[in-house]
């Protein structure tokens, strides 16, 4: 494809026909931030960014961490046995990745 720009209008030539457009190409999708993984004593810390959270859920939980052969985490399951806040379960229902 050959693109010629004239007065803000892009003309696209593909094989035997021309088409015009005033639209810009769609923006590239946002890159997914890779989580930062640290282990401090018996604490596993997984972070995607450093901004202050809009909500926090805390409680007593059983956790299963699935790793591949190279030690990369590919799944985490957290079963809360007790929430430290009455709103914990409600807040967790809105969670998504």
Tens of pLDDT, residues 23-76: 666 666 666 678 899 999 999 999 988 888 899 999 999 999 999 999 999 999
Instruction: Return the CA Rg of the chain.
Output: 24
Tokens 């809360």 -> residue: 80
User: Comparing C-alpha atoms, which of 56, 51, 53, 52 is closest to residue 87?
Assistant: 56
Q: How many angstroms separate the CA atoms of 15 and 12, rounded?
A: 10
- The rounded distance, in Å, linking the Cα atoms of 2 and 22 is 16
H helices within the chain, ranges in order? 88-93
């Amino acid at each position: 494809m050959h693109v010629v720009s004239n007065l803000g209008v892009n003309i696209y030539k593909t094989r035997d026909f021309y088409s015009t457009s005033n639209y810009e190409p769609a923006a590239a999708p946002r890159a997914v931030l890779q989580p930062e993984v640290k282990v401090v004593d018996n604490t596993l810390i997984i972070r995607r960014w450093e901004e202050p959270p809009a909500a926090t859920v805390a409680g007593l939980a059983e956790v299963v961490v699935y790793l591949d052969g190279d030690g990369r985490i590919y799944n985490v399951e957290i079963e809360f046995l007790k929430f430290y806040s009455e709103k914990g379960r409600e807040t967790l229902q809105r969670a998504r990745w």
